[in-house]
Structure 1
Amino acid sequence: MRVYVSADMEGITGLVDADDVQPGGRDYERGRSMMAEDVNAAVRGALAAGARDVLVNDAHGPMRNLRPDDLHPAARLVRGKPKPMGMLEGLAEDYDAMVCVGYHARAGVPGVLSHSFMGHEIEDMWLDGRPVGEIGLAHATAAALGVPVVALTGDDAACAEMTEWDPSVAAVPVKYAHDRFAAELRPAAEAHKAIEGTVAAALTPLPPRPAPAAAEVTLTVRWQSTAVATTLLGLTGVTADDGRTIRVSGRLPSLYRQFGVWTRVAASLTGQAPYC
């Protein structure tokens, strides 16, 4: 069994603020350690279920948050950026399952450090008219490859978003949002035990593989800046709904990769910090 782990940071046990998850923040180094502990709990769960190969992709910000020497020795690590597939770099059809660790709710949802890919630059996103953020887009892309998402960890808002998107995914809340930068924290040892046990159970037995998607889907994004929308209209297939909202149709996972180009263009135009 081969298991793929996409590891974000905002939904990690104990972390609630930008200073916990951004390089240079006063608690960032502790945040990196906490991230490794959550990821390692997921890796232990996968190994307990019989995984022979576990690949972890560092999917947060600079994508250099996980220190290789902190990672479970049985796991391989994809680290650094840019990556063509960003948060899903390395995911392929030959993986049996995907686990999302440390994920967060989409923009506009009252969850801990909630946003969609770019802090406050992306105001809303839709996939075929359905509100979507990092959780839904990752799930849809994995499904298009025929890889089932089996488990997700994050705050209660992220877990609720995953359950709404796909109730078959096992969700592990490691904290309970009080506001965007405040939460009631689950004790770390308890959270890690829950992550390990839930991942093991979610992989035993393996869930059925979704049928790889062949149909086109439409991704719509509303930006804060008209400059971003106007610039992206120069790309083939991109059309405008209004001055700040653009859309494109295509097949996943290629569409996911194209969206990564959008975010890099937006970052070069705005230079905004990830969190307001």
Structure 2
Amino acid sequence: MRIYVSVDMEGVTGLVDADDVQPGGRDYERGRAMMAEDVNAAVRGALAAGATGVLVNDAHGPMRNLLPEALHPAARLVRGRPKRLGMLEGLTGEYDAALCVGYHARAGALGVLSHSFMGHEIEDMWLDGRPVGEIGLAHATAAALGVPVVALTGDDAACAEMTEWDPSVETVPVKYAHDRFAAELRPEAEAREAIAEAVTRALTPSPARPAPPAAEATLTVRWQSASVAATLLGIPGVTAEDARTVRATGPLPALYRQFGVWMRVAASLTNQPPYC
């Protein structure tokens, strides 16, 4: 049984502020260590369920947060960027299940460090008319590859978002949001034990493959900047809903990959700190 792990940072045990998750932040180095421990708990849970291989993708920011020497020796690591599939780099239909570790709620939700991919530059997103953020888009893309997402860890808002998207996914709240930069934290040992146990449950017995997705999906994104939306209209297949909202239709995961291009265009046009 081969397991894929996409690990973000905002939903990691103990982390609540931009200084915890951004390179150069006063608590970033501690945040990196906490991130590794959450991942290692998930890896232990997967191994206990019989996993024979685990691939971990560092999916946060510069994607160089996890230190290889801090990672469980049974796991392989995808590190650095650019990545054609971003937060899902390396995921293929050869994997039996995917785990989302350290994820956060979408833009507009009252969750710890909530946003959708680009701080507040992305105001809203929809997939086939359904509100979506990093959680739902990762789930839908993995399903299109034939891989079920079976477990997610993060704050209670992220867990609720995943449950709304797919109630069959095991969720582990490692903290409870009081506001966007404040939370009640589960003790570290308790949170890591809960992660390992949930992953083992989610993988026992081996999860079933998801149903084949629709041939095409429509992704709609409302940007803070009309300049971003106007520039994206130069990409074939991208159309405007209004001055700040664009959409495109196509098969997943190709649509997910195209969205990565949209974000690189947006980053070239804006200079917004991610959590202002």
TM-score normalised per structure 1: 0.99
- Tell me if 1:216 matches 2:216: yes
In the alignment, what sits opposite 2:66? Answer: 66
Q: How does 1:166-245 map to 2 (within 5 A)?
A: 166-245=166-245
CA distance in 2, matches of 1:194, 1:214: 34
Structure 1: runs of 5 or more not aligned: none
In the alignment, is residue 92 of structure 1 matched against residue 92 of structure 2? yes
RMSD of aligned Cα (Å): 0.5
Structure 1 residue 213, shift from structure 2 partner = 2.4
Aligned: 1:163 with 2:163 = yes
Supply the distance in 2 between the matched residues of 1:211 and 1:180 (Cα, whole angstroms).
Answer: 35
In 1, Cα distance between equivalents of 2:251 and 2:35: 32
CA distance in 1, matches of 2:129, 2:153: 26
CA distance in structure 1 between the partners assigned to 2:132 and 2:215 by the alignment: 18
**Corresponding letter in the other structure for 1:161:** E
The residue type equivalent to 2:186 in the other structure is R
Provide the residue aligned with 1:128 in structure 2.
Answer: 128
Between the aligned partners of 1:4 and 1:107, the Cα distance in structure 2 is: 25
* CA distance in structure 2 between the aligned counterparts of 1:258 and 1:206, rounded to whole angstroms: 32
Q: Which amino acid aligns with 2:181?
A: F
> Secondary structure of 1:124's partner?
strand
Q: Which amino acid aligns with 2:265?
A: V
State the distance in 1 between where 2:210 and 2:38 align. Answer: 27
Q: Distance in 2 between matches of 1:169 and 1:108?
A: 23
Q: CA deviation at 1:217?
A: 0.6
SS at match of 2:139: helix
Following the alignment from structure 2 to structure 1, what is the Cα–Cα distance between the partners of residues 64 and 272?
Answer: 20
For residue 206 of structure 1, report the CA deviation from its aligned partner: 1.4
Query: In the alignment, what sits opposite 1:251?
Result: 251
What residue in structure 2 maps to residue 141 of structure 1?
Answer: 141
How far the C-alpha of 1:214 sits from its partner, in A, is 4.6
- For residue 137 of structure 1, report the CA deviation from its aligned partner: 0.1
The letter of the residue matching 2:46 is A
What 5-or-longer segments of structure 2 have no aligned partner? none
Percent identity between the two aligned chains? 83
Separation of aligned partners in 2, 1:39 and 1:54? 11
Aligned to 2:26: 26
* SS class of match (2:259): helix
**In structure 1, what is the equivalent of residue 266 of structure 2?**
266
Q: Shift in Å at residue 212 of structure 1?
A: 3.2
Partner of 1:7: 7
Task: Give the letter for the 2:63 counterpart.
Answer: M
Offset at 1:211?
A: 2.7
- Mapped to 1, the partners of 2:74 and 2:96 lie a distance apart of 17
Q: What do residues 112-153 of structure 1 show as CA deviations (whole Å, max 9, x unaligned)?
A: 000000000000000000000000000000001110000000
TM-score by length of 2: 0.99
